[in-house]
C-alpha cells in the first residue's frame, strides 16, 4: 500500500523536529547528513531528506518518499539523498528499524580515522552505552568502520556486510556515522550516545597525551 497523506505528513514533521535539533548542534556542516523515517514495511517505503539541501533550514521541499529500490514513489523534481541506498540497506537488514540518521561530526570523523586500522572502535564500561539499549554490567560495544567508498552501491554493500543487530550504528572512515533505531526517538538516542562516546574517548586520548607531555621525568 502507498503511504497515506497523513503518514507522510507525520513522518515529515518528525523529520523536521530531528533535523532542527541536530542543526542546532552543528551536526550538518556543508549540507552534509541525511535522515529517514520508515512509513511502511511491506512494501518498504520511507521518507528521506532530499539531496544537497541546507539541513539547517526548513522548506516545503525537504523530504520525499522512496521505495525499497530508493526510487521516489511520487513524481517529483526532488532527488533523494545520494546515500539513500544506505538507509534502504538498514531497513532491509533490520525490519524492526523505524528511523535512520546520518551525521558528519568532527568527533565521529576522528574516531573513524584513528581506528580504521582495526576496522572497528570498541569501548567498555561507559554509562552512555545504556543509551544504546545495552544494560549489562560493564558492557562493551564494538562499532564497525568501513572505507569511504565514493561509489554508493559499493559503500552500501560494505555497510550491509558489517552491521549487526547488537550495535545500532556504523562509522564510515573520514565521513560520518549512520545510527538507527525502532523509531525516531530511539534512533536519536542511539546517535547521541554514540557521539558522546566518541567525544569522550577522543578527549580522553588528548588529555592523557597532555599529561604525559607535561609530566617531568627524573
CB atoms within 10 A of CB 147: 14
* Cα–Cα distance for residue pair 144/167, rounded to 1 Å: 9
Give, rounded to a whole angstrom, the gap between the first and last alpha carbons of the chain.
Answer: 74
From residue 127, how far is each of 100, 110, 124, 133 by CA, in Å?
A: 23, 21, 9, 11
* Cα–Cα distance for residue pair 215/205, rounded to 1 Å: 15
In the numeric block, the cell 545500532 is attached to 168
Q: Which is nearer to ligand L4RZE5RM, 31 or 56 (CB)?
A: 31
Provide, rounded to whole angstroms, the least separation between the CB of residue 150 and Zn ion.
12
Pairing of strands 169-172, 63-67: unpaired
Cis-peptide, bond into residue 214, ω within 30° of zero: no
Q: Pick the piece of the chain touching ligand L4RZE5RM (CB under 6 A) from 18-26, 30-38, 39-47, 118-126.
A: 30-38
Residue 33 is a binding residue for ligand L4RZE5RM (CB under 6 A)? yes
Residue 52 is a binding residue for ligand L4RZE5RM (CB under 6 A)? yes
Residue 32 is a binding residue for ligand L4RZE5RM (CB under 6 A)? yes
**What are residue 178's DSSP bridge partners?**
102, 170
Q: Which of 62, 83, 184, 186 binds ligand L4RZE5RM (CB under 6 A)?
A: 83
Residue 153 is a binding residue for ligand L4RZE5RM (CB under 6 A)? no
Q: Pick the piece of the chain touching ligand L4RZE5RM (CB under 6 A) from 1-9, 29-37, 67-75, 90-98.
A: 29-37
* Of 195, 75, 180, nearest in space to 128 by CA: 195
Q: Which is nearer to ligand L4RZE5RM, 82 or 207 (CB)?
A: 82
* Cα–Cα distance for residue pair 91/100, rounded to 1 Å: 8
Q: Which of 7, 41, 51, 183 binds ligand L4RZE5RM (CB under 6 A)?
A: 51
Provide, rounded to whole angstroms, the least separation between the CB of residue 5 and Zn ion.
30
Q: Is 104 assigned a ligand-binding role in the annotation?
A: yes
Q: Is 102 assigned a ligand-binding role in the annotation?
A: yes
Provide, rounded to whole angstroms, the least separation between the CB of residue 156 and Zn ion.
12
* Cα–Cα distance for residue pair 169/148, rounded to 1 Å: 15
Residue 30 is a binding residue for ligand L4RZE5RM (CB under 6 A)? yes
For Zn ion, the binding residues (CB under 5 A) are: 176
For ligand L4RZE5RM, the binding residues (CB under 6 A) are: 30-34, 49, 51-52, 81-83, 102
Amino acid at each position: 500500500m502507498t503511504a497515506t497523506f497523513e503518514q507522510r505528513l507525520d513522518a515529515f514533521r518528525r523529520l523536521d523536529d530531528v533535523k532542527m535539533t541536530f542543526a542546532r548542534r552543528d551536526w550538518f556542516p556543508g549540507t552534509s547528513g541525511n535522515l529517514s523515517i520508515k512509513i511502511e514495511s511491506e512494501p518498504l517505503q520511507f521518507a528521506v531528506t532530499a539531496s544537497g539541501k541546507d539541513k539547517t533550514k526548513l522548506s516545503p521541499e525537504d523530504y520525499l518518499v522512496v521505495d525499497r529500490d530508493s526510487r521516489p514513489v511520487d513524481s517529483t523534481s526532488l532527488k533523494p539523498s545520494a546515500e539513500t541506498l544506505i538507509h534502504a540497506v538498514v531497513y532491509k537488514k533490520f525490519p524492526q528499524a523505524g528511523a535512520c540518521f546520518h551525521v558528519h561530526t568532527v568527533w565521529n570523523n576522528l574516531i573513524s580515522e584513528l581506528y580504521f586500522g582495526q576496522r572497528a572502535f570498541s569501548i567498555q564500561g561507559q554509562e552512555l552505552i545504556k543509551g544504546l539499549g545495552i544494560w549489562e554490567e560493564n558492557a562493551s560495544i564494538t562499532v564497525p568502520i568501513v572505507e569511504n567508498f565514493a561509489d554508493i552501491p559499493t559503500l552500501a554493500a560494505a555497510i550491509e556486510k558489517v552491521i549487526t543487530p547488537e550495535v545500532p550504528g556504523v562509522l564510515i572512515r573520514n565521513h560520518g556515522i549512520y545510527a538507527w533505531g525502532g523509531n525516531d526517538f530511539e534512533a536519536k538516542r542511539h546517535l547521541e550516545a554514540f557521539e558522546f562516546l566518541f567525544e569522550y574517548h577522543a578527549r580522553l586520548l588528548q588529555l592523557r597525551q597532555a599529561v604525559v607531555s607535561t609530566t617531568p621525568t627524573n
